[in-house]
Structure 1
Amino acid sequence: MNVRRPGRLLVRMAAELLLRSGSTTRHMAIHREQIPIVMYHRVTDQIRSAMAVPVRRFCEHMAYLHAHFRVVTLPAVVDTLSAGTRPAVNIVAVTFDDGYRDNLTEAAPIMCSLGVSATVFVATAPQECGEPLWWDALDLGGRGGVAVRSQLKRASHADLRAAVRQSLGKLPPGVVANALEQLYLSWADLRALRDLGIDVGAHTVTHPVLSRLAPKEASSEIRRSKAALERETGREVSAFAYPNGKVGDFTERTIRDLTRLGFTSACTGVERLNDHSSNRLALGRVIARDEPVSLFALRLSGIISDLEDMPRATAAARLTWRTLGLLRGTYD
């Protein structure tokens, strides 16, 4: 959640108090049927971005998951949800979106040292088309400001593609090739992840908002991504993540496409936990940020998941009540 909603300081204080008292852990044990799927993009110290978690922070997150959850694969989460049974222990799955190379060079060694599995969702334009993802293309062309990104995120797919071509067309030879090599997982890198026991999922080709595409174009984006990943990894790809993934960014038609193409799970960018009633093709996730373990744990617990859309005063009062109730052992 946006910690500014009930007040940043209040949330941090509540998170730290609940973690130290053991209340967060007790709450998760009581609500074991609510399963989090964590969403990362990049793990790197090279940039400061909402999409990037520093290496030290990622280590802290993984250590917390290792200590308090059984970290399982995404198919294992789907199987548990489908069975409708309460897990014997708290379980969680870890995912990465887009296909950045630091998922292999920075994140994978940390996960492997703890025996943590993950799914990496790959948008295949860098590997298939030799083209950076649209926001990176804008950065390379000097057009990556927040205002421009925000405008293009709402633009038609045709306008977005035109902006990408314009940005890349101004660059000297070799700049794009160098960026592709440094930023993104190559086919060989994806096979290396596969050999480490990390699953690969599809994330379209060019990372469009699928609901804005014509039906055939949307279906093609999904199908081509899946086919390329299966060809290069030699493994069936049955998991998908919607680009952007917010409400309205995919439709029932998109879900029907996924079913027809053989996908058994799909992750959104909607922040929520999952239970047996969750649509396996519209799973919620907990979006990882550069935040202390106390806040990370609080969001994994679901204690604050419904406060985002409340008025500030109401959310603050509700959080205070929940914190006191958890400390007394009277809030479930």
Structure 2
Amino acid sequence: MAYFSPLSPAGRNAKLAIFIFHRVLAAPDALRPDEPDIIRFERIVRFIRKAYVPMTVSEASGRLIDGSLPAAAACITFDDGYADNYTLAAPILAKWRVPATFFIATSYIEGGCMWNDSVIEAIRMASSGILELTSFGLGRHKLSDASSRHNACKTILQQLKYFSQEKRDSISFEIGKISGLPSDLAPMMTTKQLRALRKLGMELGAHTETHPILERVSDNQAEAEIRLSKEQLERILNETVTSFAYPNGRPNKDYSFRHAEMVRQAGFSVAVSTEQGIATSASDIFQLPRFTPWDTNIAKFALRSGLSLLRADGGFGASRPPSKNI
């Protein structure tokens, strides 16, 4: 029996924990302290294997709806589509026989680089001293050690996140030029790697094409981003793609009920947000909450996981009319 079975019953009263990851690193990185390295990630996977019953998002959501979800059900999810998901995370998942769901921003397949990665790697490469970005409205940043570079990353990324997509991409490109960032930086998965993940029994879901904040683009663009990412993945995999993750994912800030309806109309069966929480039968199936495992100490991670199950309320949209009626 999974450790958390007493906290997360089976059937109609089931609770579903969905964990969010983005990257798994070969070694700890001071500029990416929230991303686990392979040692930390394996500890997390080993714990989840013992404490929960892991499954893919599509399977878990279907069983949540029909009342057949097992006790202590959980999903591991990865957003964006980084190559290290395949090269570093997948071997660990396979070793412990744990399935996972990978949400792919499809325009970055085959050599793409997301704007935030351009900024982080540019700051890593920049010469020590002052990084002058006042011409972009981003201030001046002292770069003297790993801590100051991390602080610069956090500040600049937060400032850029809610710029228009065009302005954000343009500025991140210019920051890369200032720092001498190579133009061939390509941290994302290839088509071959995506297909190999699927052969390992992993699920692939859509995460839009270019990872826009949906609430910041037109409805026509949002609808196209959602629909075209699904279609591209389906061409790559030669199968139906049923799960979706909202970029950035905060309800009523990064996306709205309007976008949840677009997801439903595009033919998806389930969608996940980044709202912190545990899914229940009361949850909106197109706005399932997730849980971010920030803790570096596995005991603290286990404690916080258990407390989340105790406090489960279904997340944003719970007990409201489902998205298909909006």
TM-score range, shorter chain: 0.7 to 0.9
User: Does residue 261 in structure 1 map to residue 266 in structure 2?
Assistant: yes
CA distance in 2: counterparts of 1:240 and 1:23, whole angstroms: 29
Q: 1:278 aligns with which of 274, 283, 287?
A: 283
State the Cα deviation string for residues 103-128 of structure 1 (Å, max 9, x = none).
11111111111111011011123226
State the Cα deviation string for residues 177-232 of structure 1 (Å, max 9, x = none).
2x21xx21111110110111111111112211111110111112112222221111
Aligned to 2:114: 133
Letter in 1 for 2:91: P
Relative distance call for 1:28 and 1:256 in structure 2 (3 A) is closer
Aligned 1:1-332 pairs, distance under 5 A: 26-28=6-8, 33-44=14-25, 45=27, 47-48=29-30, 49-84=32-67, 87-127=69-109, 130-142=111-123, 145-167=153-175, 175-177=182-184, 179-180=185-186, 183-247=187-251, 248-301=253-306, 302=308
RMSD of the TM alignment (CA)?
2.5
Aligned to 2:136: none
How many residue pairs end up in the alignment? 279
Contact 1:237 1:263 in 2 (8 A): yes
Contact 1:81 1:276 in 2 (8 A): yes
Contact 1:134 1:206 in 2 (8 A): no
Aligned to 1:320: none
Letter in 1 for 2:101: T
Relative distance call for 1:237 and 1:23 in structure 2 (3 A) is closer
**What is the CA distance between 1:238 and its match in structure 2?**
1.2
**What is the CA distance between 1:169 and its match in structure 2?**
5.6
Letter in 2 for 1:27: L
SS state at 2:41 partner: helix
Q: Which structure has more helix as a fraction of its residues?
A: 1
Contact 2:212 2:247 in 1 (8 A): yes
Contact 1:121 1:200 in 2 (8 A): yes
Letter in 1 for 2:174: Q
The TM-score, its normalising length taken from structure 2, stands at 0.78
Contact 1:40 1:51 in 2 (8 A): no
Relative distance call for 1:105 and 1:259 in structure 2 (3 A) is same
CA distance in 1: counterparts of 2:117 and 2:258, whole angstroms: 29
Letter in 1 for 2:183: V
Structure 1 runs of 4+ with >3 Å offset = 22-32, 140-144, 167-173, 303-306
Relative distance call for 1:55 and 1:149 in structure 2 (3 A) is same
State the Cα deviation string for residues 61-119 of structure 1 (Å, max 9, x = none).
1111111221111112112221135x443111111011111111111111111111011
Contact 2:122 2:180 in 1 (8 A): no
**What is the CA distance between 1:233 and its match in structure 2?**
1.9
Letter in 2 for 1:201: G
Relative distance call for 1:96 and 1:23 in structure 2 (3 A) is closer
Contact 2:122 2:176 in 1 (8 A): yes
SS state at 2:75 partner: strand
Relative distance call for 1:80 and 1:255 in structure 2 (3 A) is same
CA distance in 1: counterparts of 2:153 and 2:97, whole angstroms: 38
Aligned to 2:323: none
Letter in 2 for 1:98: D
Letter in 2 for 1:298: L
CA distance in 1: counterparts of 2:299 and 2:5, whole angstroms: 11
Relative distance call for 1:30 and 1:118 in structure 2 (3 A) is closer
